[in-house]
Structure 1
Amino acid sequence: MPRPWGPTTTAIHAGKRFNPTRAVTTPIFQTSVFQLLENREGAEFAASIEPPAFYTRWGNPNTSEVEAVLAELEGAERALVAASGMGAFALVFEAFLKAGDHLVAPAAIYLGTEQLIRRWEAERGLKVTWIQDALDLGEWAAAIRPETRMLWVETPSNPTLAITDLAGVAALGKRHGIRTVADNTFPSPIHTKPLALGIDLSVASATKYLAGHSDVVAGVIAGSEADVVACWQMTKVFGPTLDPMAAWLLHRGLKTLALRVRRASDNAQALAQWLLWQPAVARVDYPGLPGHRGHEVAARQMVEGFGAMIGFELRAGLLAGQRFCEALEVVTRGVSLGGVESLIQHPASMSHLKTAPEVKARLGISDGLLRFSVGIEDQPDLIADLERGFQAAAEAR
């Protein structure tokens, strides 16, 4: 049996069967429709699953190629790309939930995912149990009901970097016949492969680390053939198709995924340890720190690092957080994550400014919390920039 490829070799060379040309880099098939050489082909393609050369809402060589790469990286039978991460998440809901079903999810979760769940709750009668302590498998087990159809996991969580035991939740799902879904956006398949730990579906915003250059909006679903085809059937109906140019850019980004993620993770580990020693910092949330509550579980299920997301809280609060971000020159203020550039946001005055206080408290968003997506810049430059931020925060008091 041949030795399996590593992630970078996979990202560069998997999926080549979808390139019908002699070009080393697959061209962009910027077309909505493909010529049918015979009438028979039209009937065959219309009845087939995700044909790459029929109609781009069904499939396209660029999307087929990048899906093959993503499936290999995730260790999945099949993958499906969508026009955004939220588009991918919504497809999973449409494919596997119906009105009146019960869902279990962490209380501290990405705001967009929560909004999707709340919409289903209000409009379709979805019943939801919110897990307060994602690390407590007993709480997950106690939440399960006869009508539970999905356990949704996010680890590390957004924005507080809480850890969930993926293998433990997967085992609960298997025991009760419940589908388990993990949002793998933060770690990417370089650090975590949820399917290898027993999770049924791995979903992610490919906008982030997978594409990695802040120039693509995309999502991905990876899992069994049957589950992913069920999601593709929803795509064919609802139409959140990734366009060929975006698929091409996503594939280009994947070719350097392992290099970028490892570099950013190394930066984050060093900066998290440095932040611990800063007197203006009340708390540092990073699963690579031994003091992090979920460190031992993270060390079991994450490989080659703990990701590039850091949360840290300033003692001085709201104004200090604003001034800290405004003073930075290398680190960019922005609400996303996972690009080659470092990004920072102050949720209390940015993404969650209009969020109710009780919701912010549940999500762990304090006035001084900063969410830091560490990029691949040189560490001394990042440290010097953060020092500028601390100086500005001190002057704001």
Structure 2
Amino acid sequence: MSSSTTFWGWSPCASKVLGSRGYKERHVFRVAGCPQYQFLRSHNWQPRAVKVQAISEELLAREEEDNFRFNGVQIDSTQIYGERPVSQETLSVHGGEREGRPRVSDSLTTPIVQTATYTFRNTAELIAYQEGRYGSYEYGRYGNPTTRTCEEKIRILEGAEDCLVSTTGMNAATTMLLALVPAGGHIITTTDCYRRTRQFIQTVLPKMGITATVIDPSDMEGLERALKAQKVSLFFSESPTNPYLRCVDVPTISRLCHAAGALVCIDSTFATPINQRAITLGADIVIHSATKYLAGHNDVMAGALAGKADVVAAVRSMHNVLGGTIDPHAAYLLLRGMKTLDVRVQRQNTTAMELARRLEEHPRITRVHYPGLPSHPDHHIAVDQMLGGFGGVVSFEVDADLWGTAKFVDSVRLPYIAPSLGGVDSLIEQPTVISYWDQGPEKRAEYGIKDNLIRFSCGIESMEDIWQDLLQALAKI
């Protein structure tokens, strides 16, 4: 069923003579909220009324489905990929974009929708949106098509029901804790963790009467005691942890916590969904400092939280109040970075594993912390859980004091001396100096931060170039 309708379209200027490069093609542009129409394209344009054939009812229905799908409504990925499981390599490139990008012309890359607010044609359309019958957005803090596509890619990679992307990893962590732990509640966390997370748990949450039990990552008996002694709302740990790369037994922890009515959140920044999918292991939530491996180029800051739909919805409600909204351009950079996530992480896995082996044999290194080594205390857990690889970060202790270790850091030529990790550039840091210098020796000792500890984040440079550079720096201690 079709009819003939007049629209304003674009057509070539009659006065312009087209050369050999001139062409005209018939295209269909899809514009959300507008009728689909056909038009002629060439090197010269001018608006005039053109009579075109209206699209069929079938295509109109498909447009309505697209309009809903493009604006944050999830669809079954089997509609796109079929029933056969799709690899992480392929999902890194196509996940969230084949099935959920905003349609602007026939753009191959997901467009940046740079807007702070959204419009409605009339009150009826706005009410339909409010009641969930019309797929759109309302205000930038509550959602954005570019950001939503980014969330879909992470959701698919993690095997989650929903995902929320925010400004930073810390924003994802703090918003999650505020949303899921009630006033007067109790959390369980682990000894080895990112300093700012520890700071939030120890200095901010107590103001709301929230207390915490801190256990060793491998202390399952301590976990059971805490679950019996307290009304625990949440277990929270990194895996691997920062900076000693400890790994927690996610299936066992999830079983124990769920039996006691507690949620389990795993910070999987160091692992990435390429190496470990904590949700499939039993966790309710996984968070990322997406600044690191997901974005991968040290040029954007972002955080992500993925998990069960009702849990993510609770965090999203808190996020809508607190803010922390990622900029659409930052979301685009994160989306672009994730296209190469698998190839980058696999390269970094290989480099870090070989680097850890060689460092363990070097006479100027007293200890290497890497879950891929049999000498690591949680190696058996990492083998069971980190099926894609053991990550791109290696921590090690130099046979030197604080200043001898600093001399080693100052002598390297290839890695940058900088915080962060997970990018294409190798980075090196001495945690005592870069993260804990203001704490003093006694506090650092309490946290287990040694003066001779080095954290090395492998980039994608040649392994041999990295190794030769470390050798010359070790020789100068």
Q: TM-score, normalised by structure 1?
A: 0.95
Deviation at 1:48, TM superposition (A): 5.2
**How far is 1:153 from its partner?**
1.6
1:295 matched to 2:376? The reply is no
1:7 alignment counterpart = 88
Gaps of 5+ in 1: none
Q: Distance in 1 between the 2:188 and 2:323 partners?
A: 27
TM-superposed deviation, 1:65: 0.2
Instruction: Confirm or deny that 1:153 pairs with 2:234.
Output: no
- Asked if structure 2 preserves the Cα contact closer than 8 Å seen for 1:50 and 1:232, the reply is no
1:135 to 2:255 alignment: no
Q: Aligned-residue CA RMSD in angstroms?
A: 1.6
Shift of 1:146: 3.8
Q: What's the secondary structure of 1:241's corresponding residue? A: coil
Q: C-alpha displacement at 1:71, in angstroms?
A: 0.4
Task: Judge which range, 71-80 or 317-326, deviates more.
Answer: 317-326
Please say if 1:112 is aligned against 2:196: yes
In the alignment, structure 1 residue 324 sits paired with structure 2 residue 408: yes
What is the letter of the counterpart of residue 143 of structure 2?
A: G
Mapped partners of 1:163, 1:288: distance in 2: 11
Q: SS at 1:177's partner residue? A: coil
1:172 is aligned, of 251, 256, 259, to 256
Pairwise CA distance, 1:243: 0.9
Question: What code does the residue aligned with 2:236 have?
Answer: W
Kindly indicate whether residue 323 of structure 2 is the aligned counterpart of residue 236 of structure 1.
no
- 1:311 and 1:369 map into 2 onto residues whose CA distance is 7
Give the alignment of 1:43-192 within 5 angstroms: 43-46=127-130, 53-131=137-215, 133-144=216-227, 145-192=229-276
Secondary structure class of the residue paired with 1:355: helix
2:124 & 2:139 partners in 1: Cα distance? Answer: 15
Q: Partner letter of residue 470 of structure 2?
A: L
Could you tell me how far apart the structure 1 residues matched to 2:133 and 2:391 are? 35
Counterpart of 2:473 (choices 368, 373, 389) is: 389
Q: Is 1:37 the counterpart of 2:118 in the alignment?
A: no
Residue identity in the other structure for 1:6: S
SS of the residue 2:475 aligns to: helix
Q: 1:49 to 1:245 in 2, by over 3 A?
A: farther
- SS of structure 1 residue aligned to 2:439: coil
CA distance in 1, matches of 2:314, 2:134: 11
Aligned to 1:18: 101
Report Cα offsets for 1:245-275 as digits up to 9, x if no partner.
Answer: 0100000011000110010010000000010
- Which residue type is aligned with residue 374 of structure 1? C
Show the counterpart of 2:360.
Answer: 276
Q: Secondary structure at the match of 2:140?
A: coil
Q: Structure 1 residue 388: deviation in Å?
A: 2.3
Aligned counterpart, 1:254 = 338
Query: In structure 2, what residue type is equivalent to 1:134?
Result: P
Q: Is the 8 A contact 2:110 2:146 kept in 1?
A: yes
Name the CA distance, whole Å, in 2 between partners of 1:49 and 1:277. Answer: 63
1:50: Cα distance to partner?
12
Shift of residue 123 of structure 1?
1.3
Q: CA deviation at 1:18?
A: 2.6
**Contact 1:102/1:128 (<8 A) preserved:** yes
Give the drift of 1:13: 1.9
SS in 1 for 2:349: helix
Q: Equivalents in 2 of 1:121, 1:63: separation in Å?
A: 29
Partner amino acid, structure 2, of 1:137: M
Identity %: 37
Counterpart-to-counterpart distance in 1, 2:348 and 2:446: 29
Q: Which of 306-315 and 357-366 deviates more?
A: 357-366
Compared with structure 1, are the counterparts of its residues 303 and 34 closer, same or farther at alpha carbon in structure 2 (3 Å cutoff)?
same
Measured against aligned partners, the alpha-carbon deviations of 1:133-156 in whole angstroms (never above 9, x if no partner) come to 211211211122342111112111
Q: Indicate whether 1:377 and 2:461 are aligned.
A: yes
The structural deviation recorded for 1:4 is: 2.1
Q: Distance between the aligned counterparts of 2:344 and 2:447, measured in 1? A: 29
Q: Distance in 2 between matches of 1:350 and 1:224?
A: 36
The corresponding residue for 2:111 is: 27
The one-letter code matched in structure 1 to 2:447 is: L
Decide whether aligned partners of structure 1 residues 147 and 356 sit closer, same or farther in structure 2, where only a CA change above 3 A counts.
Answer: farther
User: Is 2:290 the counterpart of 1:206?
Assistant: yes
- Indicate if the aligned counterparts of 2:251 and 2:281 stay in contact, CA closer than 8 A: yes
* 2:92 partner letter: A
Contact 1:66 1:250 in 2 (8 A): yes
Measure, in 2, the Cα distance between the counterparts of 1:275 and 1:115.
Answer: 32
Tell whether the 8 Å contact from 1:346 to 1:370 is kept in structure 2 after alignment: yes
| C-alpha separation in 2, matches of 1:185 and 1:44 | 38
| Count of residues paired in the alignment | 392
Q: For residues 475 and 102 of structure 2, what CA distance do their matches in structure 1 show?
A: 53
In structure 2, relative to structure 1, the CA distance for the partners of 1:52 and 1:345 (3 Å cut) is farther
Higher relative contact order (CA 8 A, sep 6+): 1
Cα deviation code 1:168-198 (max 9, x no counterpart): 1111111111011101010011111111111
Aligned to 2:448: 364
Deviates more, 1:281-290 or 1:355-364: 355-364
CA shift for structure 1 position 348: 1.4
Q: Distance in 1 between matches of 2:230 and 2:449?
A: 33
Q: Residue 187 of structure 2 contacts residue 211 of structure 2 at CA under 8 Å; is this kept in 1? A: yes
- Specify the structure having the higher radius of gyration (Cα): 2
After the TM superposition, which residues 321-360 of structure 1 pair with which residues of structure 2 at under 5 Å, given as runs?
Answer: 321-360=405-444
Q: In structure 2, how many angstroms separate the alpha carbons of the residues matched to 1:82 and 1:51?
A: 21
1:177 aligned partner, one-letter code: G
The C-alpha deviation readout for 1:340-397, integer Å capped at 9, x for no partner, is 11111011122111124343224321110001111111011101110122122x2xxx
